[in-house]
Chain A
């Protein structure tokens, strides 16, 4: 049972991060390789808001999440907007550069010391018994948040006006623009939402197990999950996360923990060779001449 819980928690972490990759890719075909850094930034923002609103942890968390949303939008407005129309690769490399920049800034502002936002918030990470196993409060919160975020995103994309516009912009930007949809607004929204979900992940992970710059690597490990599922599919991200998390945990249990670091990438390569567009992704069209 504990095995299942462990897989669920890890899958929730990956899924929550992966949906950030998917949101941006789906709308603008850009892979945001700074997602891990943005996630880490959000967790650090929580440290600051926690010291500002030390009496009220919920406000602190809400403020950190709101700030992250703003960061996402600003990143689009001031940086990624300039890269629209450029080669996709240039845009992706820009996100890599952004990641490097953020890594430096975070250390400059918050130092490289290991931090504990949970302590700053006065949060105690209780251990809750469930079905013969145990789960930490933060772990449970992660699973619930992931479920809520995915449900919310599905509803948003399906029924809300902006959600439908986002889907339209993702499928055919030219046509969407001709229909009077402001692409920049849509892209900015996608960046904001992506950073927001990343922030949720970053904050919950840091509440569960502390915070330092290695969080970036966690963001990177969630990336195979997004790709295995298919970069433009939310369902894919969810399933992909489950697959990667299961592979990783089972590897730890039954084979060699050291391989758990490599196994997401092995699964990824396998996927790329067999079905490059992922389990639920859309296949690229044939080249037209």
Chain B
């Protein structure tokens, strides 16, 4: 939920409708435009590798926004996120291989398949909470990967399914610059959809369920239906991310969707900050770029190349440590840090916040 308070001084609302706007002041418009302009020019100054990183971040952001909806807002834990990504990727891959289906068919199909799987694997959430639910979603991962592996083997795609670059009308999406904008658009739409859901009835119901299921029930919120809805929407979004991943990389194979990927997504929402969409995005950026940052840092060590064989181990260890540090010392995640910095500058030279406002 976005802040319901006006941000700038001298700005007053004159209708309730104004309070519902995502962007209220001219300042906010300007900031957004500048940000969009920066995003728009980035591909023209970046190297291809940096563009690839940006694309990876967008893909991760879609997935982590989806997981944030489910876990950070609706309070339903999932450890099967990689399974859903795999489901989306395989939907696209299989439809392409078996029927030569086009982009504009496979993506919605992935969304539908994701929604169905979400519905099925949301069912345990009606009986289970917390840990038990997490475990049942873990099973989802194993089942999807098993089915994917069977398909690959039975059809003889032993090194994975290759997928051609998609085509929208006359435009072949192959160049990384085009991919950048396509993925950016998908990420932006996911973000917008999530923002909209969260500021309306469904979002409030999810937050209520996360806070206290029984109370939510007593307020007339259909808890089972809304839980399932959270699973369906989140899974559908995740599966689309998976299908996009398949197209972007040009291949699908089960090895790409390890359990570790699920852990990475969970780490994104923890490190980013639970219950915040900004957190989901920050977390996606951080977790995606961390290994590259470590690689870069190791590059400075003397005799760097002899450490090459240890990099992934470094990555693992560092990733574990960062997760632990956030869990223990900064449960609010990067968003918490961001807000503190923001507050510091907003209030400067004062140290204390006035009465704690609605800003979250």
Q: Which residues of A are at the interface with B, using a C-beta cutoff of 8 A?
A: 31, 79, 82-83, 86, 88-90, 92-94, 96-105, 107-108, 112, 220, 223, 227, 258-259, 261-262, 265-266, 268-269, 272-273, 276, 287, 289
**Is the Cβ of A104 less than 8 Å from the Cβ of B318?**
yes
Chain B residues 9-68 with CB under 8 Å of chain A are none
Q: Which of A83, A100, A272 contacts B316 (CB 8 A)?
A: A100
| A79 with B131: CB separation less than 8 A | no
Residues from chain A with Cβ under 8 Å of B312 in the complex = 104, 107
In the complex, what distance in Å separates the CA atom of A18 from the CA atom of B77? 22
B257-291 contacts to A, CB under 8 A, are 259-260, 263, 266-267, 270
| Given A101-B317, A105-B317, A268-B139, CB of A79 within 8 Å of CB of B130 | no
Whether a CB of chain A sits under 8 angstroms from the CB of B338 is: no
Per the bound structure, the CA–CA distance linking A82 and B127 in Å amounts to: 30
Cβ contact within 8 Å between B128 and A97: no
Which of B266, B315, B328 contacts A82, CB < 8 Å? B328
Report 24 cross-chain contacts, Cβ distance below 8 Å, ordered by A residue: A79-B324, A79-B328, A90-B327, A92-B131, A93-B266, A94-B324, A97-B267, A97-B320, A97-B327, A100-B323, A101-B316, A101-B321, A104-B315, A107-B312, A227-B135, A258-B146, A258-B149, A268-B136, A269-B124, A269-B136, A272-B127, A272-B136, A289-B215, A289-B218
Q: In the bound complex, how far is the Cα of B215 from the Cα of A93, in angstroms?
A: 26
Nearest CB in chain A to that of B217: its residue: A287
CB-defined contacts of A269 to chain B, threshold 8 Å: 124, 136, 139
Q: In the assembled complex, which residues on chain A have CB atoms less than 8 Å from the CB atom of B315?
A: 104
Residue from the list B124, B138, B139 in contact with A266, Cβ < 8 A: B139
Q: How far is the CA of A92 from the CA of B318 in the complex (A)?
A: 19
**Which residues of A are found within 8 Å of B139, using beta-carbon distances?**
265-266, 268-269
Nearest CB in chain A to that of B121: its residue: A269
Contact call A96/B263, Cβ cutoff below 8 A: yes
B266, closest chain A residue (CB): A93
CA distance A287 to B127 in the complex (A): 13
B124 touches A107 (CB 8 A): no
Measured in the bound complex, the distance between the Cα atoms of B124 and A86 in whole Å is 25
Q: In the bound complex, how far is the Cα of B246 from the Cα of A8, in angstroms?
A: 43
- For B323, the closest partner residue in chain A by CB is A97
Classify chain B's interface size: 35 or more
B331 contacts A90, C-beta separation under 8 Å: yes
Do B270 and A93 touch across chains, with their CB atoms under 8 A apart?
Answer: yes
B110-150 vs A, Cβ < 8 Å mask (1 yes, 0 no): 00000000000001100110111011101100110010011
**Is B319 in contact with chain A by the CB < 8 A criterion?**
yes
Give the distance to chain B from A221, nearest Cβ to Cβ, in Å.
10
Which B residues touch A261, using CB under 8 A?
Answer: 142, 146
Total number of residue pairs linking A and B with CB closer than 8 Å = 116
Closest Cβ of chain A: how far from B274's Cβ, in Å?
9
Q: Main SS of chain A's interface residues?
A: helix
Kindly provide the distance from the CB of B255 to the nearest chain A CB, expressed in whole angstroms.
14
Which residue of B has the minimal Cβ distance to A275?
Answer: B127
- Cα distance A216–B327 in the bound complex, in angstroms: 22
Whether A104 contacts B136 by the Cβ 8 Å rule is: no
A94 to B123, CA, bound (A): 27
From B310, B314, B317, B323, A93 is in contact (CB under 8 Å) with B323
| Chain B residues, CB < 8 A from A105 | 313, 317
Closest chain A residue, CB of each to CB of B142? A265
What residues of chain B lie closer than 8 Å to A79, measured between beta carbons? 324, 328
> Are B317 and A258 in contact, CB atoms less than 8 angstroms apart?
no
Report the Cα distance A86→B267, complex, angstroms.
17
Given contacts A94-B328, A268-B135, 10 further A-B pairs with CB under 8 A are: A93-B270, A97-B267, A102-B320, A104-B319, A107-B310, A107-B316, A108-B313, A227-B135, A261-B146, A265-B143
**Contact of A96 (CB < 8 Å), options: B123, B136, B215, B266:** B266
Determine how close the nearest CB of chain A comes to the CB of B209; give it in whole angstroms: 13
Q: Could you tell me the distance in whole angstroms from the C-beta of A34 to the nearest C-beta in chain B?
A: 9
Does any Cβ of A come within 8 Å of B295's Cβ?
A: no
The closest CB in chain B to the CB of A29 belongs to B131
User: Which chain A residues lie closer than 8 Å to B270 at the CB level?
Assistant: 93
Q: Once the chains are docked, how many angstroms separate the CA of A112 from the CA of B313?
A: 9
Taking the closest CB of chain B, its distance from the CB of A212, in whole angstroms, is 13
CB distance from B300 to the nearest CB of A (A): 18
Within the complex, what minimum Cβ distance (angstroms) separates B341 from chain A?
Answer: 23
Cα A103 to Cα B319 in complex, Å, equals: 11
B22 to chain A, nearest CB (A): 30
For the complex, what is the distance from the CA of A237 to the CA of B164, rounded to whole Å?
49
Enumerate chain A residues within 8 angstroms of B259, measured Cβ to Cβ: 220
A104 touches B146 (CB 8 A): no
Query: In the complex, what distance in Å separates the CA atom of A115 from the CA atom of B173?
Result: 47
Q: How far is the CB of B179 from chain A (nearest CB, A)?
A: 30
Contacts known (A93-B323, A100-B323, A289-B215); A272 close to B263, Cβ less than 8 A: no
A103/B131 in contact, CB under 8 A: no
Chain A neighbourhood of B319, CB < 8 A: 100-101, 104
- Nearest Cβ on chain B to A109's Cβ, whole angstroms: 9
Q: Is the CB of A103 within 8 A of B316?
A: yes
Closest B residue to A226 using CB positions: B135
Q: Enumerate chain A residues within 8 angstroms of B266, measured Cβ to Cβ.
A: 93, 96
CB distance from A53 to the nearest CB of B (A): 27
* Interface contact A108-B310, CB-CB below 8 Å: yes
Q: How far is the CB of B346 from chain A (nearest CB, A)?
A: 29
